[in-house]
Structure 1
Amino acid sequence: MKVIKLDAIDSTNEFLKGLSNQQNINNFTVVTANSQTKGKGQMGAVWSSEVGKNLIMSILIKDFLLNVHQIFNLNILVSVSILEVLQSLNIPKLSIKWPNDIMSDNKKIGGILIENSVKGDGTIASVVGLGLNVNQTNFENLPRASSLVIMSGQNFELENLLYTIAETIEKNFILWQSLKLLFNSKYTSYLFKKGIPMPFSDMQSNKFMGIIQGVSATGKLKIMLEDDSIPEFDIKEVQMLY
C-alpha cells in the first residue's frame, strides 16, 4: 500500500482522480491531507474539517466493480469495513445512515464519497473518499455532528487509524467474493433506525411515516409505508426527519 501525504489540498478525491488519470498507479494507493479546502459530500454537499484534527483520506480501488449495476457493492464493502475498525476502538452505538454517513448514537461522525470512472477498456476505477471526525471537539452550528474523541473520551493517532482502515478495506476486498452475503447482511443490520417507525420527507416536502426495511441491490432505500407497500427511494429522493 502506497500512502501519499499532503499538507493541504483542495480535495484528496480530486488529487487521486487526477493522479490515476495521468499514470497507472497501484491499487489501494492512499492520499491523505491535514486539511482540504473543497471537501465534498454526497450530491455536492460541503464537508469541512479543523486542520490536523480529523482523518481525511482517499483510496483508489480497482478490479472490484465489474459493471455499473454493482456500484453499491463498493459502498457496502467500505461502510462495513469502517464500522469494523470503529467497533474495535469501542466507539459506541455505531450505525450507517443510508447511504454512507457514519453515525455514533444519533450523531454523524463521518461520511464516505465514492466516485467511479469507466475506463476505455470497460474497467471501473473507484476513488473512495473518507472524512472522519476524530479529535475535533468544536462543532459550532453543527448540532448533529460529533467525533471519536467526544463519543469515546479518548484521542486517537490519525496515522494509525488511516493504516488500519486502509488495511481493513484491502482485507475485505479479498474476502468479498466468498462472503458477499455476509457483508450485505452486516450493512443491512447496521442501518440507522432500521425497523423503527420514523418520519420522512420526499422531494416535494410531503411528510410521511415509514419503516426502513433495507436496501435494494442497486442501493435504493426500501421503506415500508402505512399501507404496507415498500417503495424504493434513490439518494435525495427522501430525507429522514430525526
Structure 2
Amino acid sequence: MIGQKIILLDEVDSTNNYTAKLLNEGKMAHGTVILAEKQTAGRGQRGSLWHSASGKQFTCSVYTATAFLSVERYWYLNLAVALAVRETIQAFILEKAVIKWPNDILVNDKKIAGILIETQWNSGNIMGAIIGVGINLQRESDLSSSCSLVDFTDNNPEILEMARQLSSLLELQFERLRSGNWNEILQDYHAMLWKKDVLMDARIENDWEEGYIRGIDGIGNLLFEVNGEERSFGLKEIAFAY
C-alpha cells in the first residue's frame, strides 16, 4: 500500500536520486515514500532544477511497482499521478486546481506543483516508477508564473499530513489502474485539463498559432486544433505561455 512506510529526511540532494539508490541496493518496496525537509538538487521536467528550502516546498518521491501495466497503457500512469497530486492540493484550497498537460498543476494559471516520473527498467521490461512530486508551500521567488499554497490559504499543512493525503489519493488511483478503468481516468483528466476548449496561443515549430486544446490522444499526446484541424503533439513539440 502506498504510504505505509514514509521515510523523512532532513536534507537530500534529490528525493528521486535517494529513492533510486535504495532501489539499487534492494531496500525499496512498493509504496515507500521518501520525504525531505530540504532538497538541494531536485529535478523537474525537461531537465529543470527544483530546489527547496526547509518549510518552503513539499518534496517527496514514491516508488511504485508498475509491472502490471502494459507498455501500451503505461502513459495512463502519468494521468493517474497528475489527478492524485491535483486532488491533494485541492484538499487544502478553495480555488480550483487544474492540470496543465502533461502533469504540471496550476492555480489561477500559475504553477503550484510539478511531477517527474522516472521509469525503472529490467531486461527491457518496465518494472516500476519513481514518482517525484514538488508542491510550493510558501513563495520563494517573485516569479509571475508560480504560486504557493499560502497564496490561497492561511492553513499551511504539515508535510507529513500532506504526504499521507497524497499517498491515500495515489493508492486510489493505482486501484483504478489495476482495475483497468481507462475511460474513467481519461474522463477525469480531461475534466481537469487546463484551458481545454478555450481559444489560446501555442508555439509550434517556432511560430505562434491560435487554437484549442481538445484533449489527449491514445498515446498521451496533446490534441490541439488549429484552423479546424486537430493535430497531435508530443512533449517538446508544442509550448504555451503561462
What TM-score comes out, normalization by structure 2 length?
0.92
What is the deviation of 1:152?
2.5
Contact 1:198 1:241 in 2 (8 A): no
What is the deviation of 1:182?
1.4
What is the deviation of 1:11?
0.6
- The 3 A distance-change label for structure 1 pair 126 and 153 is same
Question: What is the distance in 2 between the residues matched to 1:146 and 1:90?
Answer: 12
Contact 1:9 1:35 in 2 (8 A): yes
Question: Aligned letter for 2:187?
Answer: S
Q: Report the counterpart of residue 198 of structure 2 in structure 1.
A: 196
Could you tell me the percent identity over the aligned residues? Answer: 31
Task: Describe the SS at the equivalent of 2:198.
Answer: coil
Question: What do residues 83-108 of structure 1 show as CA deviations (whole Å, max 9, x unaligned)?
Answer: 22222323412100111111111111
- The 3 A distance-change label for structure 1 pair 24 and 48 is closer
What is the number of equivalent residue pairs in this alignment? 238
* 1:42-57 correspondence to structure 2 within 5 Å: 42-57=45-60
Asked whether 1:73 is paired with 2:90, we answer: no
CA RMSD of the aligned region, Å? 1.7
Q: Where do 4+ consecutive residues of structure 1 move more than 6 Å?
A: none
Question: What is the distance in 1 between the residues matched to 2:7 and 2:103?
Answer: 24
Contact 2:19 2:28 in 1 (8 A): no
Question: What do residues 155-184 of structure 1 show as CA deviations (whole Å, max 9, x unaligned)?
Answer: 222110111101210122123315332121
Q: Report the counterpart of residue 116 of structure 2 in structure 1.
A: 113
Question: What is the distance in 2 between the residues matched to 1:237 and 1:121?
Answer: 27
What is the deviation of 1:121?
7.5
Question: What do residues 33-77 of structure 1 show as CA deviations (whole Å, max 9, x unaligned)?
Answer: 111111111110112222222210000010355333333211111
Contact 2:196 2:212 in 1 (8 A): yes
Question: Aligned letter for 2:232?
Answer: E
Q: Report the counterpart of residue 139 of structure 1 in structure 2.
A: 141
Task: Describe the SS at the equivalent of 2:201.
Answer: strand
* Runs (5+) with no aligned partner, structure 2: none
Contact 2:71 2:126 in 1 (8 A): no
Contact 1:149 1:156 in 2 (8 A): no
Contact 1:92 1:104 in 2 (8 A): yes
What TM-score comes out, normalization by structure 1 length?
0.92
What is the deviation of 1:139?
1.9
Question: What is the distance in 1 between the residues matched to 2:203 and 2:71?
Answer: 28
Contact 2:67 2:126 in 1 (8 A): no
* 1:1-242 correspondence to structure 2 within 5 Å: 1-23=4-26, 25-63=28-66, 66-120=69-123, 122-134=125-137, 136-140=138-142, 142-176=143-177, 177=179, 179-202=181-204, 204-226=205-227, 228-242=228-242
- The 3 A distance-change label for structure 1 pair 192 and 183 is same
Contact 1:13 1:128 in 2 (8 A): yes
Question: What is the distance in 1 between the residues matched to 2:101 and 2:5?
Answer: 30
What is the deviation of 1:133?
0.6
Question: What is the distance in 2 between the residues matched to 1:51 and 1:88?
Answer: 22
Question: What is the distance in 2 between the residues matched to 1:60 and 1:199?
Answer: 37
Task: Describe the SS at the equivalent of 2:125.
Answer: coil
Question: Aligned letter for 1:114?
Answer: I
Task: Describe the SS at the equivalent of 1:240.
Answer: coil
What is the deviation of 1:29?
0.6
* Runs (5+) with no aligned partner, structure 1: none
Question: What is the distance in 2 between the residues matched to 1:25 and 1:46?
Answer: 25
